[in-house]
Structure 1
């Protein structure tokens, strides 16, 4: 541990990031729950605060933060994550039955007995989780808590009776914090030991009715399948997973169509067609810098353009936000740990990878326009659409249209779908958040293609507004991207 601490301190000094406290004083931190607690919007498709302010979920994934971080690392991680624009961090508090943290403290030293958890003069496993939640709170960040990873339940290491005890412990410990979201499940199907998941969820909800709750499922599945009718499930979550088109690896129960593995927008459309209607989000798409299919390290690795595509496809299809992940960050990889899934760099370097840095522009884009009226609308696109990477996807409000185009293919847009006799159009660059004015147009159909050329990963967002509106000028053009 001492050797690693030297490495980390040197890395921070090299990056010029050693004085976190000085940086905190320079920038005002947005504290979202000052607008009231999170709730589902009245139209059942988004999240908002009690005062009506919209909440665009932009999640960072750090599953092993409780077990692999010390306090200095938590400070640095939360500082950088807030600067990167994220407002949610997803963690796993009990990733294995024998979970231990960086200080050598066991999560369950007495099994599922918590009467003597907090001993005077000791800093234990759960106090370190408290520290994570508190540091996130200071940065205006919600913590999405996966209570127990699915493999623990699948191996029957958590009984129904212990789920009651554990759920009571968690709810009573964390209900006081304003920045909690409960993630039942953990990379598992909802029909594996369903009684345990139901017990855990209902126990927490009975004690803590004030925080939102969902279920984090296995790759290429969605919580809608098992829990959409459950009162404790406030919004749906799917894991679009880490496989490219055509990758199967002999999976037995494969619940999606052949060659649609990357089409995460399909999960959104499916969920939004269910009754009762609930908000939906991709809680685990392909991680940046992880091999296609996870297990063959000679495979290609997912890049920044891939994580952008997953994010924009999902949100344009109707998701209320998006969760990003990086191979190194999700496992909090550092030199003293064995890497999984071919990860190579330490997590503090991964926080500066391009895909990680670019997610904030997605949030900025959607908060620039009237939020709750937005709907997915493919009828905006009037020429023949493409499939797989060439699929162009559109969303709109009453007086604005947003069209995401991953390959920059020629696209024809029906400008009459929104108000106004005249329309203005811009290009929005998802790599740097900058906008470029195109022209003003009369009503009718108009073709668009950016002059940067055709190609996978040359993605652009077309913005069209009623010419009388100033959303772009007022919210996106500020030269501070």
Structure 2
């Protein structure tokens, strides 16, 4: 497991000024503060802000959070080497105001990408992700909605170790009780009192799981407020309480390497988008970490949020359907052209495609690894390939033994969470990660013009997706089923090397030559399974 090599000093405040602690760059300084008394409503009776001064003289501000009893804490991730200074201010409680201290940010010497490269940002062209130091970042997410809430420490560590080995780079999870994790989670994370209150002890338990994601080299992606049903916190809580809970979660976890999903499964009906705009602006307007929205299935919300600066990338959900209309929405709906509209330039990520082993909405047949690959490669080739999410029905539910998913009526007799650890689908995601790392991924753009014929025009299950670099050095064509593939000769350089790539095993075949008839090049896949035709000017 990746670990920071710098000692992180966690100090109890005993005087107005403290001696300097030491923290590695891109790790987290965790500082405690003491109030002179316990407060009746700590979320509301004391809002504590910490002003930090960089070694270079720049300044930033974070909010401290209540951590039980008379203790507050603040956390911060420094990205600049040298001595930092901080000072607290709080209008309501003088004992929490005017405290100061410093810490020394030193270089990190380990091998974790999280601590080597820093938080995730947008690339210069705003189509991809990168770490703070400019290193490219490919978002390969796994869906563990209930993992942080329900897992034991040992189980969570086992899960993260395996996902790290499988090349996943992000873990998506729900932060509080929600429709799928309410009666089955150990304790309340917040209490719907008037006004809202939080369970600091339970948050302390969750903290360890969030930190562990980063320690395993992956980015934590919390859904702050699930919001599908009226009983979910994003809808049930008054706006003031919903915002305060979001502020608290941000203060608590915002120093970690996180990407925020403000909403979870939200339909954004009527004028509800205005409520989310206000919360998003008020909580994430400082843009210290990237933020998006996880919308309900096949719900394209870009038009409602394109003008929001805090809405950093487009997250959509193609969902779990397998019928013609579901596939049509994914392949010919609003997703395919959004990337090329300058006013909307953002990375585009399918945050919830077909989950492995979940029954499809229409056929009721469980999605298999071919459906998982199909949705993933489609998602990466109809938009610039910034990333994609995987999901397994057993992992997101996180049951210890076979049973039902809470408040998901048709999902009964689901295998325990361990059934989703090593599957054909997870192997396919490792292969996918390695494949897109084998060439200039950030130069790829959708290029359906490469196809002379679209064999999936009538049957979307057979839809062929293609992408190319502008210079023609690399073209990628995904076929969900084998057969003949017709390409336009004038769209490829004369010196292209064509090979079939097996997305199940990661193996490249030997170079192949097409049949040419006029301006059409015809390739034939090795079998009836799904294949990638890989065309490169130079073989790696």
TM-score, with structure 2 as normaliser: 0.71
Q: 2:188·2:202 contact (CA, 8 Å) conserved in 1?
A: yes
- Which of residues 360, 370, 392 in structure 2 aligns to 1:292? 360
Structure 1 residue 79 displacement after superposition: 1.0
**What SS class does the counterpart of residue 180 from structure 1 fall into?**
coil
**What SS class does the counterpart of residue 79 from structure 1 fall into?**
helix
The answer to whether structure 1 residue 268 and structure 2 residue 335 are counterparts is: yes
Q: 1:99·1:107 contact (CA, 8 Å) conserved in 2?
A: no
Q: 1:216·1:223 contact (CA, 8 Å) conserved in 2?
A: no
Q: 1:62·1:330 contact (CA, 8 Å) conserved in 2?
A: yes
Larger strand share, 1 or 2 = 2
- Please identify, of 441-450 and 224-233, the stretch whose mean Cα deviation from structure 2 is larger: 441-450
The 1:101/1:173 distance shift into structure 2, 3 A limit, reads: farther
Q: Deviations over 1:25-73 (max 9, x none)?
A: xxx9642452233111222221122333221111100111132112111
Structure 1 residue 422 displacement after superposition: 1.6
Larger gyration radius, structure 1 or structure 2: 2
Q: Distance in 2 between matches of 1:136 and 1:435?
A: 32
Structure 1 residue 438 displacement after superposition: 2.2
Which residue does 1:216 correspond to in 2?
294
Q: 2:468·2:476 contact (CA, 8 Å) conserved in 1?
A: yes
Structure 1 residue 108 displacement after superposition: 1.5
**What SS class does the counterpart of residue 48 from structure 1 fall into?**
strand
The 1:195/1:128 distance shift into structure 2, 3 A limit, reads: farther
Q: Distance in 1 between matches of 2:532 and 2:524?
A: 10
Q: 1:190·1:226 contact (CA, 8 Å) conserved in 2?
A: no
Which residue does 2:46 correspond to in 1?
none
The answer to whether structure 1 residue 329 and structure 2 residue 411 are counterparts is: no
Q: 1:87·1:142 contact (CA, 8 Å) conserved in 2?
A: yes
The 1:423/1:333 distance shift into structure 2, 3 A limit, reads: same
Which residue does 2:525 correspond to in 1?
450
Which residue does 1:144 correspond to in 2?
221
- Which of residues 166, 173, 184 in structure 2 aligns to 1:91? 173
Q: 2:503·2:530 contact (CA, 8 Å) conserved in 1?
A: yes
Which residue does 2:154 correspond to in 1?
72
**What SS class does the counterpart of residue 222 from structure 1 fall into?**
coil
- Which of residues 409, 412, 415 in structure 1 aligns to 2:486? 412
Structure 1 residue 91 displacement after superposition: 0.4
- Which of residues 442, 452, 473 in structure 2 aligns to 1:372? 442
Q: Distance in 2 between matches of 1:126 and 1:106?
A: 9
The answer to whether structure 1 residue 309 and structure 2 residue 388 are counterparts is: no
Q: Distance in 2 between matches of 1:231 and 1:93?
A: 23
Q: 1:54·1:371 contact (CA, 8 Å) conserved in 2?
A: no
- Please identify, of 272-281 and 189-198, the stretch whose mean Cα deviation from structure 2 is larger: 189-198
Q: Report the number of matched residues.
A: 418
Q: Distance in 2 between matches of 1:65 and 1:334?
A: 11
Which residue does 2:533 correspond to in 1?
462
The 1:259/1:78 distance shift into structure 2, 3 A limit, reads: closer
Higher relative contact order (CA 8 A, sep 6+): 1
Which residue does 1:356 correspond to in 2?
426
Q: Distance in 1 between matches of 2:309 and 2:357?
A: 37
The answer to whether structure 1 residue 430 and structure 2 residue 430 are counterparts is: no
Which residue does 2:209 correspond to in 1?
132
Q: 1:187·1:219 contact (CA, 8 Å) conserved in 2?
A: yes
The 1:130/1:441 distance shift into structure 2, 3 A limit, reads: same
The 1:301/1:190 distance shift into structure 2, 3 A limit, reads: same
Which residue does 2:6 correspond to in 1?
none
The 1:264/1:185 distance shift into structure 2, 3 A limit, reads: farther
Q: Deviations over 1:434-473 (max 9, x none)?
A: 1112236899742111232x3xxx100001111xx233xx
Q: Distance in 2 between matches of 1:404 and 1:98?
A: 34
Q: 1:422·1:442 contact (CA, 8 Å) conserved in 2?
A: no
The answer to whether structure 1 residue 176 and structure 2 residue 255 are counterparts is: yes
Q: 1:96·1:149 contact (CA, 8 Å) conserved in 2?
A: yes
Structure 1 residue 196 displacement after superposition: 3.5
**What SS class does the counterpart of residue 439 from structure 1 fall into?**
coil
Q: Distance in 1 between matches of 2:438 and 2:213?
A: 25
Structure 1 residue 184 displacement after superposition: 1.5
The 1:164/1:344 distance shift into structure 2, 3 A limit, reads: closer
The 1:402/1:265 distance shift into structure 2, 3 A limit, reads: farther
Which residue does 1:121 correspond to in 2?
none
Q: Deviations over 1:351-406 (max 9, x none)?
A: 11211221121121112111222111011111344220121111011201110011
Which residue does 1:402 correspond to in 2?
476
Q: 2:177·2:189 contact (CA, 8 Å) conserved in 1?
A: no
The 1:54/1:441 distance shift into structure 2, 3 A limit, reads: farther
The answer to whether structure 1 residue 235 and structure 2 residue 305 are counterparts is: no
Q: Distance in 2 between matches of 1:342 and 1:351?
A: 19
Q: State the superposition RMSD in angstroms.
A: 2.9
Structure 1 residue 264 displacement after superposition: 4.6
The 1:204/1:129 distance shift into structure 2, 3 A limit, reads: farther
Which residue does 2:282 correspond to in 1?
203
Which residue does 1:12 correspond to in 2?
none
Q: Distance in 1 between matches of 2:507 and 2:289?
A: 35
Q: 1:61·1:90 contact (CA, 8 Å) conserved in 2?
A: yes
